[in-house]
């Protein structure tokens, strides 16, 4: 196991420091009013995010082919240090696939003591905005990482990119083309047929320079001309058939404003940006493998911007079952009102998963388990949920909540005998402290914990039977009260005051149930979330005619259910994004948007166990 360190060196791929004003790291678990001791009934123990998030080198994917390549490069002296980058386009919110890429790029920089840049590949002005820039920065920091220096923007390199394009024209390696998009597709050819040269391919260098300058100066309409590389229209790789590297597009840019009316294409911009920044290992998903020859061609045909020459490597894209990651389809879910926004807790966006209560540590653990390879990377949702569940089991303090309450009246309640009971916040972390659970003549228990006609193996409360109240006494059910329709509405029970901390003599009580004092509990809104889709691959289901069915046909109508529940009184004072285990029920978080003091709102993060397979 690698050593655990606080990654604090300036200008390195260090962990995001959540509270820069605090100099020393603290324990992971803290309380505002009761640290490692008993909290009085009604007080709230606030378990804050650690002042410094902590990383272990073994938190990142084990040895894989990219790590092998990096180690070979370092051993051979090809590179003395590594530099990676995470280069999202600011045209949407990051999702679970981006989380894997973030963990890979920043994780490699951490493991090999290198640097990782955050660069926005912002070459499509109509689709990009500062809203997405800010959300991406927030997501990366929330995941626990900090980039080297200031965030970079491809648009900051537009002047250099233009100069390199002029140089390519002067070298006879680029030309201005007047073909329309439709004509260009016709001339490009197919996978089995070579393309044809454009009739404008042999323009003189002087004419191309003049036309490109006039393109930049705004003398031509949008889409009327492009700048193309002069490579090989007969290449077996369509990406090498004179690709377009500039197009005319009058659009306001979030970073450069209205300075430019021509914009470079991604394939041209990306490799040069990598080279300018001294990136050593440019990591992309497999769909860019066929673009690598173009990446190398561009860098081979311009003056080297940096002493370090980047190289592109590809790995498989993450496919998470019961989910989708297409930005277009995610946007459709939002636009059509199927979800309540990009941070809806059912969405696979990082902001959605954060709101649902997923933790950065859990997502990093998932990224490690997903692994890095070139083979198909299809991961079941249960793997993600399992990683989150495992992390929360260790870190989440405990709370009692009753989601489906059944009233219990204690017929022998004696205030002189009935004692409040101490309950720890975590069974394995004494340092988290605990609180007192008050008891009163009326309790709430889960309706599911009582059965008038119990099935075989039922070990909870039955008429005339006994159960242990968690952290408290043994209780016997003496009478069942029903309404006019025959529904059970109340139980009349009695406590055995001699069973506090011990079993009753001569009786074996197997069942333990949770409970709340009706006098002290407070109401809360609880949202029970399930998977958004009922099909593992909702966008890959074909109908009888062989055509793909709309992915929205497989939305889960029961993906969210809102109920009114009862929780411990301390929930009234919790801040948003407080993660808890509701004992015996699952992991929950106070909602990032809707939770307020005095009006608690909880989202279910995951159940205690994987129950989905039993439902499908």
pLDDT value at residue 376: 85
d(CA 276, CA 152): 11
d(CA 613, CA 183): 52
d(CA 261, CA 590): 47
pLDDT value at residue 611: 67
Q: Which residue has the tokens 């949702």?
A: 381
- Domains of the chain, first to last: 57-156+266-320 (3.40.50.620), 158-264 (3.90.800.10), 327-397+525-607 (2.40.240.10), 400-520 (2.40.240.10)
Q: What is the DSSP string of 19-76?
A: -TT--S---S---SS-SSSEEPTT-----PPPSB--EEGGGS--S-HHHHHHHHHHHH
Q: Is 308 helix (H, G, I), strand (E, B) or coil?
A: coil
Q: Which residues of 379-394 are buried (b: 16+ CB within 10 A; e: fewer)?
A: bebbebbbbbbbbbee
Among 239, 269, 259, 261, residue whose Cα is nearest residue 87: 269
Q: Is there a catalytic annotation at residue 89?
A: yes
User: Is 98 among the annotated ligand-binding positions?
Assistant: yes
pLDDT value at residue 57: 55
User: Is 217 among the annotated ligand-binding positions?
Assistant: no
Task: Identify the active-site residue in 327, 459, 460, 537.
Answer: 327
Task: Identify the active-site residue in 12, 89, 309, 592.
Answer: 89
pLDDT value at residue 128: 96
Q: What is the DSSP string of 372-384?
A: --SS-EEE-HHHH
User: Is 285 among the annotated ligand-binding positions?
Assistant: yes
User: Is 101 among the annotated ligand-binding positions?
Assistant: yes
pLDDT value at residue 506: 81
Q: What is the DSSP string of 309-347?
A: PPEEEEEPPEEETT----HHHHHHHHHTTSSSSTT-TTS
Q: Is there a catalytic annotation at residue 431?
A: no
Task: Identify the active-site residue in 12, 38, 309, 317.
Answer: 317
User: Is 241 among the annotated ligand-binding positions?
Assistant: no
pLDDT value at residue 59: 58
Q: Is there a catalytic annotation at residue 492?
A: no
pTM value?
Answer: 0.88
pLDDT value at residue 56: 55
Q: Which two tokens stand for residue 396?
A: 């989440």
User: Is 99 among the annotated ligand-binding positions?
Assistant: yes
Q: Is 527 helix (H, G, I), strand (E, B) or coil?
A: strand
Which DSSP symbol is given to 253? Answer: B
User: Is 346 among the annotated ligand-binding positions?
Assistant: no
Positive or negative torsion for Cα 499, 502, 505, 510: positive
User: Is 95 among the annotated ligand-binding positions?
Assistant: yes
List the chain residues with pLDDT less than 70. 1-62, 611-616
Contact assessment for residue 128 and residue 90, using Cβ atoms and an 8 Å cutoff: yes
């Amino acid at each position: 196991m690698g050593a655990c360190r606080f990654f604090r060196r300036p200008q390195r791929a260090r962990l995001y420091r959540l509270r820069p004003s605090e100099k020393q790291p603290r324990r992971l678990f803290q309380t505002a009013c009761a640290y490692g001791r008993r909290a009085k009934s009604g007080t709230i123990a606030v378990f804050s995010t650690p002042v410094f998030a902590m990383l272990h080198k073994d938190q990142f994917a084990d040895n894989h082919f990219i790590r092998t390549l990096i180690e070979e490069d370092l051993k051979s002296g090809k590179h003395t240090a590594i530099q990676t980058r995470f280069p999202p386009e600011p045209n949407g919110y990051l999702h679970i696939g981006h989380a894997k890429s973030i963990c890979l790029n920043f994780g490699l920089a951490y493991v090999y003591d290198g640097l990782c840049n955050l660069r926005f590949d912002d070459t499509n002005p109509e689709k990009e905005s500062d809203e997405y820039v800010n959300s991406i920065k927030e997501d990366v920091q929330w995941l626990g990482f900090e980039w080297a220096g200031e965030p970079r923007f491809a648009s900051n390199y537009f002047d250099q990119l233009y100069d390199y394009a002029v140089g390519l024209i002067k070298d006879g390696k680029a030309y201005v083309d007047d073909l329309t998009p439709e004509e260009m597709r016709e001339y490009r050819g197919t996978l089995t047929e070579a393309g044809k040269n454009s009739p404008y391919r042999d323009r003189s260098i002087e004419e191309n320079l003049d036309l490109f300058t006039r393109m930049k100066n705004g003398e031509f309409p949008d889409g009327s001309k492009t700048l193309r590389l002069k490579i090989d229209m007969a290449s077996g790789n369509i990406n090498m058939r004179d690709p377009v590297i500039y197009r005319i597009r009058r659009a306001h840019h979030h970073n450069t404003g209205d300075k430019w009316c021509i914009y470079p294409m991604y394939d041209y911009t990306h490799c040069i940006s990598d080279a300018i920044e001294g990136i050593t290992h440019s990591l992309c998903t497999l769909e860019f493998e066929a673009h690598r020859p173009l990446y190398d061609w561009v860098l081979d045909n311009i003056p080297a911007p940096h002493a370090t020459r980047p190289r592109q490597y590809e790995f498989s894209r993450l496919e998470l079952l019961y989910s989708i990651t297409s930005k277009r389809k995610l946007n459709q879910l939002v636009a059509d009102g199927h979800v309540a926004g990009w941070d809806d807790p059912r969405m696979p966006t990082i902001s959605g998963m954060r709101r649902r209560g997923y933790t950065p540590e859990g997502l990093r653990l998932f990224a490690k388990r997903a692994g890095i390879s070139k083979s198909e990377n299809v991961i079941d949702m249960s793997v993600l949920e399992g990683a989150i569940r495992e992390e929360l089991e260790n870190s989440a303090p405990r709370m009692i909540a009753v989601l489906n309450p059944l009233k219990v009246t204690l017929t022998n309640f004696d205030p002189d005998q009935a004692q409040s009971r101490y309950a720890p916040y975590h069974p394995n972390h004494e340092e988290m402290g605990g609180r007192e659970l008050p008891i009163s003549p009326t309790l709430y228990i889960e309706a599911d914990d009582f059965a008038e006609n119990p099935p075989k193996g039922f070990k909870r409360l039955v008429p005339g039977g006994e159960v242990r109240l968690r952290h408290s006494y043994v209780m016997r059910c003496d009478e069942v009260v029903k309404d006019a329709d025959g529904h059970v509405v109340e139980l009349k029970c009695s406590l055995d005051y001699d069973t506090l901390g011990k079993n009753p003599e001569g009786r074996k009580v197997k069942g333990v149930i949770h409970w709340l004092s009706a006098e002290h509990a407070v109401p809360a809104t609880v949202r029970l979330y399930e998977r958004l889709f009922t099909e593992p691959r909702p966008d890959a289901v074909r109908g009888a005619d062989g055509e793909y069915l709309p992915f929205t046909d497989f939305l889960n109508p029961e993906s969210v259910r809102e109920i009114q529940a009862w929780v411990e009184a301390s929930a009234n004072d919790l801040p948003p994004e407080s993660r808890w285990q509701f004992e015996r029920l699952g992991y929950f978080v106070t909602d990032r948007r809707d939770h307020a003091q005095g009006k608690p709102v909880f989202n279910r993060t995951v159940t205690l166990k994987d129950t989905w397979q039993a439902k499908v």
